[in-house]
Amino acid sequence: MEVIIVPDPAAGGELIADAMADLLRRKPDALLGVATGSTPLPVYEALAAKVRTRDADASRARICQLDEYVGLPYGHPESYRSVVLREVVEPLGLAEEAFMGPDGAAEDVAAACRAYDRALAEAGGVDLQLLGIGTDGHIGFNEPCSSLASRTRIKTLTEQTRRDNARFFDDLDEVPHHVITQGIGTILDARHLVLLATGEAKADAVAQAVEGPLCALVPASALQLHPHATVVVDEAAASRLKLADYFRATYAAKPAWQGL
């Protein structure tokens, strides 16, 4: 696992957007896995800016969704499908056909979960999966004590996660209790995992995921198992890392040819 400490969220967004642009140069039809929430917005803004200035070509890119609420009607503005289309697909100038995600409105949710896991594999797998981290250490919607081998499935949200997400709704009662999420095992299938965390509220979760033991109580610790995982954190989110100075020194000495 590589840990990169950046000055602020904008720097983190630029760094990850550069990595995505490099990937698209090598593989123009790369499948990019995206996360929702406020943390990854600087990434999407920076990548869209590169597309506008022709520093990146996303015309053949494919976008896939990490998770989705269960029960929100199709087209609901806070469904993650709507959010990804609005914040990623449209700014990159892509058609909706370039996007794939699970069906949170399906009558048979379990079948929809299996179908999405299968669709990701049939698409050739995710080339780069962007992740956030919850204050309790969750990734995707794999809440604490999720199986580290889990596949795409339905999960019940903790009240903490519902409260964290209530800012996107008119009130807490509107936040769904259930979601479809890529499982930890599904996430680990991606060729490159990039976790972005910003702000002091994420500092404890980052420290536990990076320096703590591998355990289901901290789902993000599963990144320790991945052969190509990158954790990008701003100074605030890095504030509880015991090895912060080592991570800074390692990144400063990193050869330019190695890339992200």
**Which residue in 68, 87, 127, 136 is the catalytic one?**
136
- Residue 100 three-state SS: strand
- Residue 231 three-state SS: strand
- Residue 41 three-state SS: helix
**Which residue in 68, 117, 127, 138 is the catalytic one?**
138
Other beta carbons within 10 Å of 75:
10
Of residues 68, 62, 67, 80, the one with CA closest to residue 126: 62
**Which residue in 14, 67, 103, 117 is the catalytic one?**
67
- Indicate if 67 belongs to the active site: yes
- Indicate if 204 belongs to the active site: no
62, two tokens: 């494919």
pLDDT tens digits for 109-126? 999 999 999 999 999 999
| Contact indicator for 64, 186 with CB cutoff of 8 Å | no
pLDDT tens, the chain, 260 aa long: 999 999 999 999 999 999 999 999 999 999 999 999 899 999 999 999 999 999 999 999 999 999 999 998 888 999 999 999 999 999 999 999 999 999 998 999 999 999 999 999 999 999 999 999 999 999 999 999 999 999 999 999 888 888 888 988 988 999 999 999 999 999 999 999 999 999 999 999 999 999 999 999 999 999 999 999 999 999 999 999 999 999 999 999 999 888 88
- Indicate if 14 belongs to the active site: no
- Indicate if 138 belongs to the active site: yes
